[in-house]
Amino acid sequence: MTEQASNKDFKAEYSRYVWFKLLFIAGLGVLTFFIFWISLCVGTRDLDVATVFDYFIKHLQGVTYEPRSQQAFDDSIVWNYRVPRALFGIISGAGLAISGAIMQSVMKNPLADPYTTGVSSGALFGVAIAITLGFSFGGSGIAGVGTVLNAVLMAMVPVVVILLFSPFFRKSPSTLILAGVAVSYMFNALTSILLVSTDEANLDIVYRWQVGSFTDLSWGSLPLMTISVIVGIAIILPLSNKLNLMSLDDKDAKSLGLNSERLRIVCLVILSFISASIVSYVGIIGFVGLVIPHMVRMIIGSDNRFLIPGSVVLGAFFLTACDIISRALDVQAEVPVGVVTSFIGAPIFLYLIIRQKSGVW
Amino acid sequence: MEIRIEEMAFSYASVPVLKDICLDIREPQFVSILGPNGVGKSTLIHCINKILDPTAGKVFLDGRSVKEYSLKEMAKEVGYVPYSSSDTFPLSVVDTILLGRHPHAGWKTSDEDLEIVYDTMSKLGIEDLALRPFNELSAGQHQKVMLARGLVQRPKVLLLDEPTSNLDVKHQLGISRLLKHLSHEDGILVIMISHDLNIASKYSDNIILMYEGAIYAVGTPAQVLTRENVLTVYGVDSEIIDDGGRPHLVLKDLESGECLPMADSAVCTSIL
């Protein structure tokens, strides 16, 4: 039967189509793996990949070196500075990109991400409270749970604003972003008030938070952020086919058995946890969440079942690469990584605004 | 599958849209809902599949109140084909249609899902569009894809909001015949909102004519589409011709000088 033959053709074609997407994601995964090693080589102390790899493996095997020897020094550079920093790039990149992808799908808005909607500014204000006033919910200390909780709580404020006013944001994608800008201004003003009255040391810390920087990160800062990013990804991935339905009108989604409003709340709460925990450690790194999902869409389309994992790996790769660039530009001064992402991301954002009318990819 | 609506009313905030709707549809058949713009046709079908909650009265599917259905159960029983669909983040045609399998499927797309999608696409003659992005299609193709999405839900009731509005005459007839076929051969209760009186008359088993938020007349096309009814409901005079036992309406021009608000007087005169 020709009917059956063409049915088979169709299935084969569709599975090729799916395989291409999976291959793309896997390829990005491999690239991310490689860039991790490259990232370990960049810095004031010049080490090549083989040496770095050697130190890495030996450290895992528990090899110790004579104190104050060159080897012990190099081992410490690799293991205590560069490895956590590279992991930070990978995990926060993945987290920022998935936050953007979720935000865009949930709000049906190609311009949305935690940065453009004010979620990051809210989180930063929470961090500023913890640093300057020393006031935090829960424990204390800059890298502690309390700071993260502060950030999460303040990140929830824009989320609540978005949820309350979401009917108004449907009219045009820019309305949501303008509201986000307004909320950001508000939080930036509040943060500034705190900064005016604080001492120089705190000022320096908060300043670095504002531009987003990977300096002074150590192993101790990793677990909390890693947990929230991984848990977030683990919750969102199984929901990704439902996110496809969310790109329809709410009433169409309802007719297909999905309560969009409930899922939107769940997703936004998860997203504010992810982005607030990232902001708590590295500050505001702009445009990763906005640009990465669009890059993925350009290549493998908007199907969230592939877009979400694709954004995770590309985000990890992209931010690690930006960190390498920031260190390579000037090894001594270290241009903050947020500056690099903004330089790359802002023009793309502008391009998106301009071509927005003709649909997205 | 039968639908029973008892004294249902619906209002948005304080604006009443529907009032005193009583309706009883028993067998699988092809029903058209007609009526002027803003009369509440869409609201009526939204109240049937739980998109909206009626403010008063009750709706039953197979004797069970729709309030007792979960959204997912409802989506397995009642398919819905909207008037238009957003394409902010367009999927391919296959993936768009696969969304209709959501109430039945899990995370992974099964072979069965793909077979159902393929069958439906070939039934509608759109299998060659399979991997094209939804936003690159013509308006008519859009409508067929959305119809396909409703059909792969494998519903017992299919609700459609103006499914033929963007199609050329040939495809209007084709889709209408398909809908009739679905109701007669596959036993689906098809309820369609339409603005084309003659298409509705030609293919429907029964017609629901709405006027001022209520049901004005129900019955076969010959019973409902009379000159008086059309004059009252639409304010348009017509001549009814018999077309193989079904009424065919020849609409008469509005009274001279009575232009619709959209056309300004300059346009009315300059066409001479």
- The residues pairing with B251 across neighbouring beta strands, listed in sequence order, are B238
What's the rounded mean pLDDT across residues B192-217?
94
CA distance A122 to A64: 44
Return the percentage of chain A with pLDDT > 70, whole number: 92
Query: What are B113's two structure tokens?
Result: 């899902």
Interface of A with B (CB under 8 A): 3, 6-7, 10-11, 13-14, 17, 104-105, 108-110, 173, 238, 240-242, 244-245, 247-249, 251-252, 254-259, 297, 301-303, 305, 359-361
- What's residue A177's pLDDT? 82
- B159 close to B78: Cβ distance less than 8 angstroms: yes
Encoded amino acid at A195, one letter: L
Q: What does the pLDDT look like over A124-144, one tens digit per residue?
A: 898 888 878 776 655 444 457
- What's residue A2's pLDDT? 59
**How many CB atoms lie under 10 A from the CB of residue B185?**
9
CA distance A169 to A174: 8
Q: At what angle do helices B139-151 and B111-124 cross, to 10 degrees?
A: 140
How many helices (H) and strands (E) in chain A? 14, 0
Q: What does the pLDDT look like over A295-317, one tens digit per residue?
A: 999 889 899 999 999 999 999 99
- What's residue A223's pLDDT? 87
By CB neighbour count within 10 A (0-12 exposed, 13-18 middle, 19+ buried), where does A129 fall? Answer: buried
What's the rounded mean pLDDT across residues B183-195?
94
Residues of B in contact with A109 (CB under 8 A): 88
Q: What does the pLDDT look like over A213-266, one tens digit per residue?
A: 887 778 888 888 999 999 999 999 999 989 999 888 888 999 999 988 889 999
Encoded amino acid at A71, one letter: Q
CA distance B55 to B40: 14
DSSP H or E stretch at residue A17:
helix A2-41
More confident residue, B79 or B166: B79
Residues of A in contact with B92 (CB under 8 A): 17, 301, 303
**Residue whose C-alpha is closest to residue A104's, from A6, A240, A254, A197:** A240
Identity of the residue in A108, A240, A256 whose CB atom sits nearest the CB atom of B86: A108
- What's residue B22's pLDDT? 92
> How many CA atoms are closer than 13 Å to the CA of A82, on its beta-carbon side?
27
Residue of B nearest to A108 (CA): B88
Residue of A nearest to B129 (CA): A10
Q: Which residues contact B235 (CB under 8 A, 6 or more apart)?
A: none
* Residue A66 pLDDT class (50, 70, 90 cuts): confident
What's the rounded mean pLDDT across residues B28-40?
94
Query: What are B192's two structure tokens?
Result: 């369609």
A41 pLDDT above the threshold of 70? yes
CA distance A130 to A137: 9
In order of their start, the domains of chain B are 3-270 (3.40.50.300)
CB contact under 8 A, A238 and B107: yes
Residues of A in contact with B85 (CB under 8 A): 248-249, 252
Q: What does the pLDDT look like over A329-345, one tens digit per residue?
A: 876 767 888 889 989 88
- What's residue A27's pLDDT? 97
Return the percentage of chain B with pLDDT > 90, whole number: 65
- What's residue A1's pLDDT? 45
**Residue whose C-alpha is closest to residue A170's, from A257, A261, A269:** A261
Q: Can you give the residue range of the structural domain that contains A304? A: 93-358
Three-state DSSP at A318 gives helix
- What's residue B3's pLDDT? 92
Three-state DSSP at B81 gives strand
**How many CB atoms lie under 10 A from the CB of residue A21?**
19
- What's residue A3's pLDDT? 62
DSSP for B126-193, please give it. Answer: -GGGTTSBGGGS-HHHHHHHHHHHHHTT--SEEEEESTTTTS-HHHHHHHHHHHHHHHHHS--EEEEE
Q: What is the pLDDT of chain A when averaged over all its residues?
A: 86
Q: What does the pLDDT look like over A149-176, one tens digit per residue?
A: 888 889 999 888 888 887 776 666 777 8
Domain assignment present for A354 = yes
A vs B, Cβ pairs < 8 A, gives: 108
Cα–Cα distance list, B6 to B25, B44, B205 (Å): 12, 12, 22
B46-52: long-range contacts, CB 8 A cutoff, minimum separation 24: B46/A251, B47/B5, B47/B8, B47/B10, B47/B18, B48/B3, B48/B5, B48/B78, B48/B157, B48/B159, B48/B191, B49/A255, B49/B74, B49/B78, B49/B80, B49/B157, B49/B159, B50/A254, B50/B74, B51/A251, B51/A254, B51/A255, B51/B80, B52/B10
Domain assignment present for A27 = no
- Shortest CA gap B206–chain A (Å): 24
Residues of A in contact with B86 (CB under 8 A): 108, 247-249
DSSP for A107-146, please give it. Answer: TT-TT--TTTTTHHHHHHHHHHIIIII---SSS-STTSHH
What's the rounded mean pLDDT across residues A8-14?
88
DSSP for A21-79, please give it. Answer: HHHHHHHHHHHHHHHHHHHHH-SSS---HHHHHHHHHHHHHT----TTSHHHHHHHIII
Identity of the residue in B71, B78, B118 whose CB atom sits nearest the CB atom of A7: B118
CA distance B75 to A347: 43
**Residue whose C-alpha is closest to residue A261's, from A241, A246, A281, A277:** A246
ipTM: 0.85
B85 pLDDT above the threshold of 90? no
Encoded amino acid at A341, one letter: T
Task: Flag the least confident range among B80-89, B148-157, B169-178.
Answer: B80-89
- Shortest CA gap A101–chain B (Å): 11
Query: What are A326's two structure tokens?
Result: 């920031």
CB contact under 8 A, A14 and B114: yes
Kindly report the CATH number assigned to the domain that includes residue A111.
1.10.3470.10
- The residues pairing with B60 across neighbouring beta strands, listed in sequence order, are B4, B65
Residues of B in contact with A104 (CB under 8 A): 89
- What's residue B245's pLDDT? 87
CA distance A121 to A279: 9
Residues of A in contact with B153 (CB under 8 A): 256
B268 pLDDT above the threshold of 80? no
DSSP state of B209: E
More confident residue, B234 or A146: B234
CB contact under 8 A, A252 and B107: no
More confident residue, B76 or A171: B76
- What's residue A136's pLDDT? 61
Cα–Cα distance list, B252 to B52, B234, B242, B249 (Å): 37, 12, 17, 9
Task: Flag the least confident range among A192-206, B73-87, B171-185.
Answer: A192-206
B254 pLDDT above the threshold of 90? no
**How many CB atoms lie under 10 A from the CB of residue B142?**
18
A354 pLDDT above the threshold of 60? yes
Domain assignment present for A70 = no
- What's residue A140's pLDDT? 45
Domain assignment present for A31 = no
B17 φ, ψ to 5°? Answer: -110, -50
Residues of B in contact with A240 (CB under 8 A): 107
- B35 close to B233: Cβ distance less than 8 angstroms: yes
Task: Flag the least confident range among A89-98, A334-343, B188-197.
Answer: A334-343
A72 pLDDT above the threshold of 50? yes
Q: What is the pLDDT of chain B when averaged over all its residues?
A: 88
What's the rounded mean pLDDT across residues A75-99?
92
- What's residue A231's pLDDT? 96
B107 pLDDT above the threshold of 80? no
Number of structural domains in chain A: 1
What's the rounded mean pLDDT across residues A22-37?
96
